[in-house]
Amino acid sequence: MPELAEVDYYRKQWNPGLGQSILRVHLNGGKRLFRGSDPALLARQVLGTRLKDSWSSGKWMLFHLSPSSWLGIHLGMTGSLSVGTPDHLPGKHDHLVLYQKKQSLIFTDPRLFGRVNFSLGKESPAWWQALPPSLLSTKVTFSDIVIFLEKRGRSPIKAVLLMQERFPGIGNWMADEILWRAGIHPRRQSGKLSEAEQKELWKQTRKVVRDALRVIGTTWSGPPDSWLFNHRWKDGGRCPLTGCGLVRESIGGRTSCWSPKRQAAN
DNA sequence: TCCTATGTTGTATG
DNA sequence: ACATACAACATAGG
């Protein structure tokens, strides 16, 4: 499920372990989650470290295990983080468990599309520092967005919103939510939006990010029925603004949902 | 049995 | 070299 707000929600699930040492490690080192990393090194190095801090950036999370271990986690499509008892028995899909005195920190991912990046160093790892800036930071401007929309001009706007290099943390439901609010059909060519549409897209992008972080990132309470979110997967779902029937179709390889009354195909 | 799933990446094509 | 499209990854659930 994880897009940026869910990712940050899951990151905080490990907060009970902050300040405490890692006493034991369980991992399924043969799984593709660990591609690019050395799971044996992880298992060895993390012992005795202390969970110091954590951050999220787009769909990535980073955990600092002091003094010098860094654990990057991507949840893929079905990953999640949770806290278990200190003697938690790893389930079939619990691929990494960090045991502490009072609890265990669990990373579960049935489909294995997620990823674990382990590294050592004084500073946060290079891959982390190279991640694109948050859509809410002043480092991303309207002009950056316009340039990107035009560079990817022949792709459907839906596919462009999913490109993490410019829209970090946006996933399938957020992209549909943004386009629905902005009144733009997901199949419109990215380079053919009017200036007014570009502006509305940027405005709604930032709004959906803020709304998601507020509603999902903190409480996991469901979004209100005024969002497309609650209607998009239901057969016979209706647009909360116009009441017309919602349409679902694959665009750019992902199922997309839109309101034909609000979002004209052109 | 077949289809779907809130993600990314390797590969083929233009 | 660059942009674009899509199969592949692995598993569960309807």
According to the 3-state scheme, what is the secondary structure of A47-111?
A: CCCEEEEEEEECCEEEEEEECCEEEEEECCCCCEEEEECCCCCCCCCEEEEEECCCCEEEEECCC
Q: Alpha helices of chain A — where are they, by DSSP H?
A: 4-13, 39-45, 126-129, 142-151, 157-161, 172-182, 195-215
Q: What tokens does A35 get?
A: 């591609």
Question: Closest nucleotide (CA of A109 to C1')?
Answer: C11
- Residue-wise pLDDT for A96-136, tens only, equals 999 999 999 999 999 999 999 999 999 999 999 999 999 99
| Nucleic strand C under 7 Å from the C-beta of A238 | no
- Spacing of C-alpha A260 from chain mean position: 27
Give the model's pLDDT for residue A220. Answer: 58
Strand C nucleotides within a 7 Å radius of protein CB atoms? 3-12
A4 CA vs B11 C1’ separation (Å) = 28
| Nucleic strand B under 7 Å from the C-beta of A168 | no
Give the model's pLDDT for residue A101. Answer: 98
DSSP state of A139: T
Q: Is the pLDDT of residue A8 over 70?
A: yes
Determine what percent of chain A falls in helix, strand and coil, rounding each to the nearest 5. 30, 25, 45
> d(Cα A171, Cα A34) in Å, to the nearest integer?
23
- Spacing of C-alpha A255 from chain mean position: 17
Stretch A240-258: mean pLDDT: 94
- Residue-wise pLDDT for A36-58, tens only, equals 999 999 999 999 999 999 999 99
| Nucleic strand B under 7 Å from the C-beta of A172 | yes
| Nucleic strand B under 7 Å from the C-beta of A95 | no
| Nucleic strand C under 7 Å from the C-beta of A32 | yes
pTM tops 0.85: yes
| Nucleic strand B under 7 Å from the C-beta of A253 | yes
**Kind plus residue range of the DSSP H or E element containing A231:** none
Provide the 3-class DSSP secondary structure of residue A257. strand
Question: Closest nucleotide (CA of A155 to C1')?
Answer: C4
Strand B nucleotides within a 7 Å radius of protein CB atoms? 4-8
Return the biggest CA–CA distance within chain A.
60
Query: Which residue's C-alpha is at the least distance from the C1' of C11?
Result: A111
